[in-house]
A and B are shown apart, each in its own frame.
Chain A
Amino acid sequence: MTVLEVTDPADAVQRPPAEVRFADELARLRAADTAARPPGWQLSVQAARRFVIGDPKLAVTRKFVGDPSLIDRALITLATSRGLMLVGEPGTAKSLLSELLAAAVSGASTLTIQGGAATTEDAIRYSWNYALLVAEGPSTRSLVPAPLLRGMAEGRTVRFEEITRCPLEVQDCLLSPLSDRVLAIPELTGPESMVFARDGFNIIATANTRDRGVNDMSSALKRRFNFETVFPIADFGTELTLVADEAAKLLRRSGVTAEPRRDVLEVLVTTFRELRTGETARGDSMERLSAVMSTAEAVSVAHAIGLRGWFLRGEPGTTEDLVACLAGTAAKDSPEDLAKLRRYLSQQVTWRKGDQWKALHDARHLLPG
């Protein structure tokens, strides 16, 4: 009853959970794992760490690009009595990281609560099968456990996505499970009315810094979490390689045989990084765009550039395609962002060396409006 019942995951499911996608790697790590495991864990901390940041010796791929120390801190937090809160800009792979950590620690990443304005306590703790409830009264049979209850009872990691999208009072139902490690079910009587968390239970929550201030967490809840900020990829070369690889993969899947041009991608990634950080390579500060300029967005723009170039002209995409695509991703429906983008293209591009930068400047008129 833990994971999706899938006969042939590769065929039937668009995106199987991490523990299915990387089942081989997990098995190899488990077999080679000699270090002590924290109580309730499927792997030792060291092996879980290798699962995320990779281990060439066991043919474990690197799944998360970022500081290894972040993974260390996250895993140690999960082994202590505080929850782990991953915060960061959208598109920084927080959810992927939380999925990987849950898969490594508990062998299952599917005890997931998706936070949102409509999330209620029912979706977090438990609800009832009302037919049985009416027929038999409250009992363990009529109880329908939600992820939190199951995680506590089974000693597993529970993921809470976008926790700050939930109303404050809903968030606060995590307080006693996190501090006293117990969940009361007042409708039941006897020992069944208290579910005590078993070893291995902990919570990984994610929150988006763009939502800061919308449903700010109570300080009581904050205190029960250790915060880890996930940053966009710090190193230009790493990000460029990642974008190039992922875009090439997507383009092949779309039937494009032309490889994306490296110099165009360089301009693309530089532009994204500068608009994201609000600082140019020369050190000038700018206002950031309100749109999300994540690596994932850069990949999708690179994909779109390749598609345009290939299907419109039968060649790899050019810088003109980049400008045309930027309007759609970066500016979206915001005229302010469009103005910022126009300002960037006309004022912050001319001083750079390179043909593609010049082409970018010349193509600035292709921005709509």
Chain B
Amino acid sequence: MPVTFLGVRHHSPACARLVGGTIARLRPAYVLIEGPADFNPRIGELLLGHELPIAVFSSYRDDARRHASWSPLCDYSPEWAALTAGEAAGARLRFIDLPAWHPAFEDRANRYADAELRYAEVIARLCRSFDVDNVDALWDHLFEIAPEEGLAERLDAYFDLIRGESRASDSDTAREAYMSTWVEAAAAAAGDRPVVVVTGGFHRPALVAAHARAASDRTASERAAPDDAAPGRTASDGAAPDRAAPDRGGASWAGGEPRPAEADRGWPAVPGMPDGAVGGSFLVPYSFRRLDSFDGYQSGMPSPGYYQELWESGAESAGRRLVEAVAERLRERKQPVSTADLIAARATADGLAIVRGHPVAGRTDVLDGLASALVSEALDVPLPWSSRGMLGAGSHPVVVEMVAALSGSRVGRLHPATPAPPLVHDLDAELARSGLDGIDDLDLDLARDSDRERSRTLHRVRVLGVPGFVRESGPATGLEPVLRERWTLRPSNDRLSAVIEAGAYGATLADACAAVLAERAALAGRDVDVLAGVLFDAALAGSADVSGRTLADIEATVGAAGELGTLGKMLAVVLTMWRHDRVLGTAHSGTLGAVIAAAVRRILWLAEGVHGGTAPAEPARIAALAACRDALRHAGDRLGLDPSAALEVAGRVAADVQAPPDLRGAAFGFRWALSPARPTSPIPDSAGPDPAGPDPAGPDAADVIGAAAGADDGLDPVRAVRGAFQPRGAGDWLAGLFALAREEVLHDGRVVGLLDELMSGLSAEDFLVALPALRQAFEYFPPREREAIADQVLARRGRGGGGRRLLRSADDPEVVAAGMALDDLVEAVLRREALLGAGHDRS
């Protein structure tokens, strides 16, 4: 009963060829494949005749954690070759790895990621000794475009070297122990017929060693029942997959119940889910784009489009196709690609292949050739295939097209007889339960629990992009008090296909919606508006709490945001939702809290970088600082935001002569509003001229504030106002101050008095220059408070009467202006005729 262990790299055409050839030659009784063992009873579903790529999608949910992962398969996957060749050879097919929900896969979204990447050091040494950039180039060099003879031996040597003496992680050890039990069971069941085991090459050395140990043990005990790897379960399942009857699979995804014992011949038990957990595995269509979009430890072989071509027609033709595809794509986009360029690309690729010792030009040879010939300027980011990562922002357009051509656009399709993904059933059930499955026009009141439930369901369906569900009106920003929603439901023929497609995101409506939102958050890049949309959709759909990974994506978007205004707008919305929103249930949500913390940090960072001299006030950026102030005030303690660091930043901005006046005023107001101790002026309402320059807080103020937030130095509003009061910038500066410290200004009468004094001192012309911005600044006070200010001014001048009168100017401004012009004219005439005494000069 010889067991052949084939260690492969997932999604490697060379390995797939080796697997197919070996199975056809050996005609084994059993083909054991690294894949979710709980899918064994339905393994026949895989062979119905799908268009690849497809994936086995596994989902899991219990009280503590949620998990979704994929086992993608394409034409050139060794696992796929094992399935098809095994079937052709009449072998029994078994998946032998732990189910995807098992804790061993806790941090894995892609079962077929490269395990060896987690053991990077040896890879780095290998790359160094072969003088290649990264593991992908190394792999191509050693296997994909290397001669086929000796491939198996090379693979074994490669993976033995990588595995070396390094201790595998606990999760890898657990998986290997489990897979070994299957190997022994299959070896026992096969009698003297061969068994072929196809697993990731990284696991092979461990499996071979375990098999050798088992063989020596077997002489002692012939029936070594493998039971130690599946604690708490008796052997019950896994045998005899019914390939002919795949129909029962679709509905049986809910976990928790052990499957009926079909044969008790010492096959390992499939671990059952813990009580209360739901989940399962099923087939979903997949795409090259998604296959190529895993990164970090989740990533596998890149460039599915290229390797598909290599699998179908060989390396030479794949290289040629790649060049053609890139040229086509570039020409479609009106980028110049001359014949001379293509000749140069070809010549360079062939030259590189010779230098690197390749029989034909491989992936990187062709890519390097194209880059040499087509890119005729400096690159901003390194070529993506040299560093093994995602396409960075700022990639050269030629490089972007090259990567797109490598990736390919193939989309898989399931055979119609495949059981529909559970999302289809879940969605239908949810809609039926809420009475949303017919033609309808709904008017929902979000304050009512039942309507809110229905609204959530509808929003989830909308987020999944299922046609036929349109929201006509409803809350749009999270700030306005709209509590009614109108929906139009018109069932559409395209609904089923859309839901099947969305089935790859999750098994239930809620999970799938959360996954789609997570994907949108990851794709947001630097666009804060997109992110705000995602967060609002999440709130509407009732899935505001997201995974750690998505939270990291969200924080990355906020951390990369470049514009103060949009960020401030988002912060204001999110803060309101975090503080008050009991309707959508987002009050004190952890996700929003993290967004608030990140946004506060980023706004402070950006505020210090705005340099614009005397640029006019921008209400949006003032509002950003105001939102920041509110966040520190209302959420600071709870979210652990550091007010002293914020005050330090504000101190520097307020004192920065390069910063625009509105921001300086806002920063000053920020400090005033947030300082624990109210400032008191050492010189009460000084009337005499103060020599404080335009830099009232002084450059060292920041340090003092940092040491003792709220100290008086640099926080004296009288000094600050006096220093900032120049006709051109005064209104802008005051706009910032009033927006951030409105109440403080009202309560501290000195500022109003000082402003009255300073404005009276302005010449007529300066006053006109300052007027528009001053008007804008005082707009920050609501009418009632403006009246209070007017009262203060009148009282200060010893005039009676209410301030209200001052605010209600019934006269047409044009008449006033004409009157002033007439006054000026008369005065000019009087002056010309020397009829104006020196003592009568207008002040």
Q: Which residues of A contact B (CB under 8 A)?
A: 45-46, 49, 53, 67-70, 72-73, 75-77, 79-80, 82, 87-88, 207, 209, 212, 222-223, 225-229, 231, 234, 280, 282-287, 336, 339-340, 342-343, 346-348, 350, 365, 369
Contact = CB atoms under 8 A, between A and B. Distances in A.
A288 B355 CA distance: 38
B131 A49 contact: yes
Given A67-B133, A72-B355, A285-B526, A365 B703 contact: yes
Given A69-B137, A229-B378, A350-B642, 6 more contacts: A69-B132, A69-B133, A76-B351, A227-B377, A284-B605, A346-B652
Interface of B: 131-133, 137, 344, 347-348, 351-352, 354-356, 364, 368, 371-373, 375-379, 382, 386-387, 526, 555-556, 559-560, 562, 601-602, 604-605, 608-609, 611, 642, 645, 648-649, 652, 656, 658, 699, 703
20 contacts: A46-B355, A67-B133, A69-B133, A72-B352, A73-B348, A75-B355, A76-B351, A76-B355, A79-B351, A212-B378, A226-B344, A226-B373, A231-B379, A234-B387, A284-B602, A285-B559, A342-B652, A343-B609, A346-B648, A347-B645
B378 A87 contact: yes
B649 A346 contact: yes
A346 B651 CA distance: 12
A287 B609 contact: yes
Contacts of B356: 72
A347 B368 contact: no
Nearest to B605: A347
Given A234-B387, A284-B559, A343 B131 contact: no
A360 to B, nearest CB: 15
A21 to B, nearest CB: 22
A87 B560 CA distance: 27
Given A223-B376, A227-B377, A343-B609, A80 B351 contact: yes
7 closest Cβ pairs, A-B complex: A284-B559, A87-B378, A76-B351, A229-B379, A68-B131, A285-B560, A283-B556
A113 to B, nearest CB: 20
Contact of A69 (B364, B377, B608): B364
A227 B656 CA distance: 43
Nearest to A80: B347
Nearest to B608: A343
Nearest to A54: B131
A49 B375 contact: no
B376 A222 contact: yes
Contacts, number: 114
A283 B368 contact: no
Contacts of A223: 376
B75 to A, nearest CB: 29
A336 B652 CA distance: 14
A300 B312 CA distance: 54
Contacts of A282: 555, 559
B378 A231 contact: no
B376 A369 contact: no
Contacts of A286: 605
Contacts of B562: 285
B379 A347 contact: no
A350 B555 CA distance: 17
Contacts of B556: 283
A67 B386 contact: yes
A73 B608 contact: no
A267 B539 CA distance: 41
A229 B386 CA distance: 12
Contacts of A212: 378
Contacts of A284: 559-560, 602, 605
Contacts of A228: 372
Interface centre among A222, A225, A227, A234 (most CB of B within 10 A): A227
A88 B377 CA distance: 10
A348 to B, nearest CB: 8
Contacts of B344: 80, 82, 226
B359 to A, nearest CB: 16
A73 B526 contact: no
A215 to B, nearest CB: 14
Given A80-B348, A223-B376, A285-B526, A343 B605 contact: yes
Q: Which of A209, A226, A348 has the most CB of B within 10 A?
A: A226
Contacts of B379: 227, 229, 231
A73 B364 CA distance: 11
A244 to B, nearest CB: 18
A347 B604 contact: yes
A117 to B, nearest CB: 21
B559 A283 contact: yes
Given A88-B378, A347-B645, A350-B645, A68 B133 contact: yes
A346 B355 CA distance: 50
The residue in B379, B560, B604, B649 that gathers the most chain A C-beta atoms within 10 A of its C-beta is: B379
Nearest to A55: B131
A339 B602 contact: no
Contacts of B378: 87-88, 207, 209, 212, 227, 229
Contacts of B605: 284, 286, 343, 347-348
Nearest to A335: B658
Nearest to A340: B609
Nearest to B137: A69
A298 to B, nearest CB: 19
Contacts of A46: 355
B377 A73 contact: no
A283 B560 contact: yes
Nearest to B372: A226
Nearest to B127: A68
Given A67-B133, A287-B609, A343-B605, A369 B699 contact: yes
B76 to A, nearest CB: 25
B131 A76 contact: no
B497 to A, nearest CB: 37
Contacts of B133: 67-69
A207 B378 CA distance: 9
Contacts of A350: 642, 645
Nearest to A216: B377
A357 B714 CA distance: 28
Given A67-B133, A346-B648, A72 B368 contact: yes
B352 A76 contact: yes
A198 B707 CA distance: 72
Contacts of A226: 344, 348, 372-373, 376
A280 B601 CA distance: 13
Given A284-B559, A347-B649, A49 B364 contact: no
A77 B355 CA distance: 12
B132 A68 contact: yes
A339 B609 CA distance: 9
A88 B382 CA distance: 11
A73 B371 contact: yes
Nearest to B377: A227
Contacts of A76: 348, 351-352, 355, 372
A225 B376 CA distance: 8
A143 to B, nearest CB: 34
A82 B658 CA distance: 48
